[in-house]
């Protein structure tokens, strides 16, 4: 037990946030979870069923675009985990992601400031780090690296732009308000889902298995298990030495390597068998360093377990 600590998780029903809530409850925290509609049991019913939820989870109706709704949710908390941001493979309308990312982050930080919150853990992304076309190919990618906002705009990569700019904003507001901000930057997050519907990153695995694709990209993916991502967030609060941003990557694998591992464990599914393109794109994930985060997480869940547990959870929920 953590001595009755109280934590708020903004966007509690999401894939990563649900695991943060589960692990906080498991450690004895009292948890305030914000969701946009607490009565939507299809979307949030899984939270109410988590061990400890009956006694120590309160769901608050709050939207990151509505400052007033956030204030009661963060009130009295020792820490706020801000995870809420839409995730999709492509956003046609920049505002669909920029607005919740930027206005949402400002509202969360202003609510924290009003309620005198001293620590915030913010979910950024490898997307805020990876994309800089001018970076030398062989450069090690560590926490000093940022995605280039101009390049994001040029290629209309609104998600990467939103994660880059919102991370800069949260750090700036943290300095301004005297709030200690720790930032976790996960790459593609896999692992078992707690929620009832499939989310974008786990959807990548389903797409490789459901027969909808005949070809796969010749690219590397940086991967990490959601349970490790949740641990990193909590350590970002509990470890008094935690500060700044942390790249959260366990390994990088070619899409072909993922398909081979999936095929070996789940031969009954239908996999794409043609490789798109001759050259390997996305090599930069191979250059990402997880040195810093090893002070927060001692070891990562092995890659094969991550894949097998992802698929098992999709099967269990009838999503494959
Ligand atoms: N999954 C990954 O591979 C990955 C990798 C790196 C970083 N991240 C980051 O991790 C965080 C959570 O992602 P996830 O994978 O857990 O995605 P998810 O399951 O799709 O969850 C997204 C969360 O954001 C909230 N949200 C979305 N649009 C919103 C809006 N307009 N206003 C208020 N809340 C909104 C959702 O709330 P509702 O429940 O109300 O819809 C939900 O709680 C995001 O910040 C994402 O950028 C994810």
What digits encode the pLDDT tens for the residues 184-211? Answer: 999 999 999 999 999 999 999 999 999 9
CB of 252 sitting under 6 A from ligand 1? no
Q: Which atom of ligand 1 is nearest to the CA of 10?
A: 43
Contacts of 253 (CB under 8 A, 6+ apart): 220, 221, 223, 261, 303
pLDDT tens digit string along 84-94?
999 998 999 99
What percentage of the chain carries pLDDT values higher than 70? Answer: 97
Q: Which of 85, 101, 223, 247 to mutate to test the pocket of ligand 1 (most atoms within 8 A of CB)?
A: 85
Q: How many other C-beta atoms lie within 10 A of the C-beta of residue 15?
A: 23
CB of 85 sitting under 6 A from ligand 1? yes
Structural domain including 233 reads 6-201+224-251+287-303
What is the CATH number for 230? 3.40.50.720
Q: Residue 231 falls within a domain, yes or no? A: yes
**Count of the separate structural domains present in the chain:** 1
Q: Residue 79 falls within a domain, yes or no? A: yes
Cα of 25 from ligand 1 centre, angstroms? 20
- pLDDT band, residue 280 (cuts 50/70/90): low
Identify which of 127, 122, 117 has the alpha carbon closest to the alpha carbon of residue 90.
Answer: 127
Q: Residue 314 falls within a domain, yes or no? A: no
The terminus-to-terminus CA distance of the chain in angstroms comes to: 37
Q: Residue 213 falls within a domain, yes or no? A: no
pLDDT tens digit string along 237-275?
999 999 999 999 999 999 999 999 999 999 999 999 999
Cα R_g (the chain), whole angstroms: 19
Q: Residue 271 falls within a domain, yes or no? A: no
294 vs 82: CA distance, rounded Å: 22
pLDDT tens digit string along 151-166?
999 999 999 999 999 9
Q: Residue 158 falls within a domain, yes or no? A: yes
pLDDT of residue 1: 45
pLDDT of residue 277: 76
pLDDT tens digit string along 204-246?
999 999 999 999 988 889 999 999 999 999 999 999 999 999 9
Q: Residue 318 falls within a domain, yes or no? A: no
Mean pLDDT of 99-111: 98
Report yes or no on whether pTM surpasses 0.95. yes
Q: Which atom of ligand 1 is nearest to the CA of 63?
A: 33
pLDDT of residue 305: 97
Cα of 268 from ligand 1 centre, angstroms? 31
pLDDT of residue 282: 54
Residue 32 DSSP label:
E
pLDDT of residue 2: 46
Q: Is the pLDDT of residue 10 over 80?
A: yes
Cα of 175 from ligand 1 centre, angstroms? 24
Q: Residue 311 falls within a domain, yes or no? A: no
CB of 196 sitting under 6 A from ligand 1? no
- pLDDT band, residue 132 (cuts 50/70/90): very high
CB of 184 sitting under 6 A from ligand 1? no
Q: Which of 9, 10, 14 to mutate to test the pocket of ligand 1 (most atoms within 8 A of CB)?
A: 14
Catalytic residue set:
163
């Amino acid at each position: 037990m953590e001595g009755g600590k109280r934590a708020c998780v903004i966007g509690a029903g999401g894939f990563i946030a649900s695991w943060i809530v589960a692990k906080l409850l498991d450690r004895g925290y009292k948890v305030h979870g914000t969701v946009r509609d607490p009565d939507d049991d299809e979307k949030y019913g899984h939270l109410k069923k988590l061990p400890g939820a009956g006694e120590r989870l309160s769901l608050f109706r709050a939207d990151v675009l509505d400052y007033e709704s956030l204030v009661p949710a963060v009130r009295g908390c020792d820490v706020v985990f801000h995870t809420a941001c839409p995730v999709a493979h492509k956003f046609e309308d920049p505002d669909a992601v920029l607005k919740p990312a930027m206005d949402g982050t400002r509202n969360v930080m202003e609510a924290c400031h009003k309620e005198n919150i001293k620590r915030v853990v913010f979910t950024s992304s490898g997307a805020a780090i990876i994309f800089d076309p001018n970076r030398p190919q062989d450069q090690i990618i560590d926490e000093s690296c940022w995605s280039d906002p101009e390049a994001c705009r040029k290629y209309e990569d609104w998600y990467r732009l939103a994660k880059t700019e919102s991370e800069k904003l949260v750090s700036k507001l943290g300095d301004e308000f005297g709030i200690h901000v720790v930032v976790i930057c996960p790459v593609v997050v896999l692992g078992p889902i707690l929620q009832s519907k499939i989310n974008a990153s786990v959807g990548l695995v389903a797409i490789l298995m459901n027969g909808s694709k005949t070809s796969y990209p010749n690219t590397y993916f940086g991967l990490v298990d959601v349970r490790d991502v949740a641990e990193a967030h909590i350590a970002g609060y509990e470890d008094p030495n935690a500060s700044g941003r942390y790249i959260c990557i366990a390994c990088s694998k070619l899409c072909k390597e993922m398909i081979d591992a999936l095929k070996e464990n789940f031969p009954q599914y239908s996999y794409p068998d043609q490789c798109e393109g001759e050259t390997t794109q996305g090599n930069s994930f191979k250059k990402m360093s997880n040195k810093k985060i090893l002070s927060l997480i001692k070891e990562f869940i092995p890659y094969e377990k991550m894949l097998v547990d992802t698929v098992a959870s999709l099967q269990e929920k009838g999503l494959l």
